[in-house]
Amino acid sequence: MTERLRVRVDPDKCQGHARCKALAPELFELDEYGNAHEAGDGIVPPGLEDKAWLAKSNCPEIAIDVIEE
Amino acid sequence: MSDVSQPAAHPPVTDWVHDFDHTDPQWTDDPFPIWDQLRAASPVVHTERFLGCYMPTTYEAVREIANDTEHFSSRRIIVRDVRPEVARNAAPPITSDPPVHKPAKQLLLPPFTPDAMKKLEPRMRAICNELIDGFIADGKVDAAARYAKYIPVQAIAHMLGIPESDSDLFINWIHMILELGIKDESKLLQAVQEMSAYFTTHIEQRKNKPTDDLISYLMNAKDKEGQPLEESHVLGSLRLLLIAGIDTTWSAIGSSLWHLARTPVDRERLIAEPALIPTAVEELLRAYSPVTMAREVVKDTTVSGCPVKAGNMVLLSFPAANRDPKMFPEADKVVIDRRENRHAAFGLGIHRCVGSNLARMEMQVALEEWLKRIPDFALDPAGTVTWSQGTVRGPRQLPILLGKAM
């Protein structure tokens, strides 16, 4: 019944503003240049759904997708 | 056309939509109603001043231009009265276009990641408290001149490995380049020359005795082919770090304190809920974005349906984009807990500010330490707040009365 969420960062759009890492540190990682990618397989653990949406809606480059599976 | 050898006096603006001028005193004092007027007229406006210059007025038009490096070059990043020949390696990567931009940017990114900034944070807290110690007993302070200004200066001096006591020298160069240089080419050239001489001395010292700082880091950096950077590239990037790192964050901290001095309800909320400070910092960055950039149109195109002709400059106003009500509900209101905030204060696209993580850390620490020790403060009615002109906007004089100081 409950949908599972998955986050994904588009590496071609990400410019390293790092807003996602500040707002949802559990869901995103930064590389040595400070550019973001999703942590692990991007699956959002239960309870962190709000943070996933918050990260998406604060990315200045519109680089984050939240996929409902 | 004005005589390029003299600093030109600009005639006052009477028709903002067709003759805008970001150096006009009215713009300096209160640009927000002007931007609203321009946005209501068109997504892109034009002025004959500055040898021809467009300004995108909406968030969307600003984004289009920031993401279009084919038609818009970064080789000139300040809108000025003159367009002298472009120097190679002026200030890479901010003055670079693809394909040379990416490797130049990647060199600078690792020292500025959020994790790298965390290591600097304790030093920043100490700097803020030392500054507060210097004036807290006086009952009043010029918070721009004695607090906001010295936080980024000392941070970047610390990172570059140059003496924090040279601060006033750096501040003078920045004033000459970003403010006086708009109308007086000679001031800009003089400052660039003095900065290069200054850094050349520091580079020479490190040739025999390498240090653990950004100057040595750049001297040892290799390009894609594994070759050391040309000295002009090292000097250009050092000039960039010094110029870009100081009056920008000085302005952002100053504007934030200006807002909090006038808005007790926001101040009290941040004291009661310090965890909200990072969110508040984003909103203050949106509402009072300090930095306006520029591009040069190198090929004819259209932006938001408006024709744009090669040979003109573009005043790329991230501050105006951040006040676009189509993008931000209640755009003219500071909503201290705004949840959705895709503001463009640090730019959009490949030229995203390399120091954004540093600036954010400095702002958070500066506000946290100030609010801990000075929970109650207000603008001094006996003083005058003044704002910088042109490329970077923030208070340069910010007289504040300290009440119930601790």
Chain centre distance of CA B192: 18
CA distance B277 to B88: 41
B376-395 residue pLDDT tens: 999 999 999 999 988 899 99
Q: Which of the two residues, B245 and B261, has the higher pLDDT score?
A: B261
- Which chain B residues contact residue A61 at CB under 8 A? 348-349
Instruction: Give which of B321, B334, B347, B391 is closest to B39, Cα–Cα.
Output: B321
Please provide residue B246's backbone torsions phi and psi, each rounded to the nearest 5 degrees.
Answer: -110, -70
Whether chain B has a CB inside 8 Å of the CB on A18: the answer is yes
Sign, Cα dihedral of B281, B287, B345, B185: negative
Q: Report the predicted TM-score, pTM, of the whole model to 2 decimal places.
A: 0.94
Chain centre distance of CA B233: 21
- Which chain A residues contact residue B342 at CB under 8 A? 57-60, 62
Q: Is the pLDDT of residue B4 over 50?
A: no
Q: What is the mean pLDDT of chain B?
A: 94
SS3 B279: helix
B265-298 residue pLDDT tens: 999 999 999 999 999 999 999 999 999 999 999 9
ipTM of the complex: 0.97
What are the structure tokens assigned to B119, written together?
């290591």
Whether chain B has a CB inside 8 Å of the CB on A12: the answer is no
The band of B7, judged by pLDDT with boundaries at 50, 70 and 90, is low
B171-189 residue pLDDT tens: 999 889 888 888 898 999 9
Q: Is the pLDDT of residue B312 over 60?
A: yes
Q: What is the pLDDT of residue B235?
A: 92
B12-29 residue pLDDT tens: 999 999 999 999 999 999
Please tell me the distance in Å from B291's CA to the nearest CA on chain A.
Answer: 16
Whether chain B has a CB inside 8 Å of the CB on A30: the answer is yes
Q: What is the pLDDT of residue B3?
A: 41
Tell me how far CA of residue B83 lies from CA of B52, B87, B311, in angstroms: 11, 11, 10
Tell me how far CA of residue B81 lies from CA of A28, B14, B78, B316, in angstroms: 45, 19, 10, 16
Concatenated DSSP letters for B353-373?
-TTHHHHHHHHHHHHHHHHHH
SS3 assignment for A12-60: CCCCCCCHHHHHCCCCEEECCCCCEEECCCCECCCCCHHHHHHHHHCCC
CA distance B62 to B229: 33
Helix (H) / strand (E) containing B397 = strand B395-397
**Residue from B277, B318, B324, B356 whose CB has the most chain A CBs within 10 Å, to mutate:** B356
Please tell me the distance in Å from A4's CA to the nearest CA on chain B.
Answer: 22
Task: Answer whether B114 sits within 8 Å of A34, measured CB to CB.
Answer: yes
CB B63 within 8 A of CB B304: no
**Residue from B62, B352, B353, B361 whose CB has the most chain A CBs within 10 Å, to mutate:** B352
Tell me how far CA of residue B153 lies from CA of A49, B190, B278, B394, in angstroms: 40, 21, 21, 15
Q: Is the pLDDT of residue B225 over 70?
A: yes
Tell me how far CA of residue A5 lies from CA of A43, B82, B385, in angstroms: 6, 53, 49
Quick one: average pLDDT of A14-34? 98
B83-129 residue pLDDT tens: 988 877 788 899 999 999 999 999 999 999 999 999 999 999 999 99
Quick one: average pLDDT of B347-364? 98
Q: What is the pLDDT of residue B404?
A: 58
A:34-63 residues touching chain B, CB 8 A cutoff: 34, 54, 57-62
- Which chain B residues contact residue A17 at CB under 8 A? 346, 352, 356
SS3 B377: strand
Q: What is the pLDDT of residue B357?
A: 98
SS3 B384: coil
The band of B406, judged by pLDDT with boundaries at 50, 70 and 90, is very low
- Identify the residue whose tokens are 């009290």: B268
CA distance B53 to B308: 10
Alpha helices in B87-184, H assignment, sequence order: 101-108, 114-135, 143, 150-160, 167-178
CB B105 within 8 A of CB B354: yes
B145-162 residue pLDDT tens: 999 999 999 999 999 999
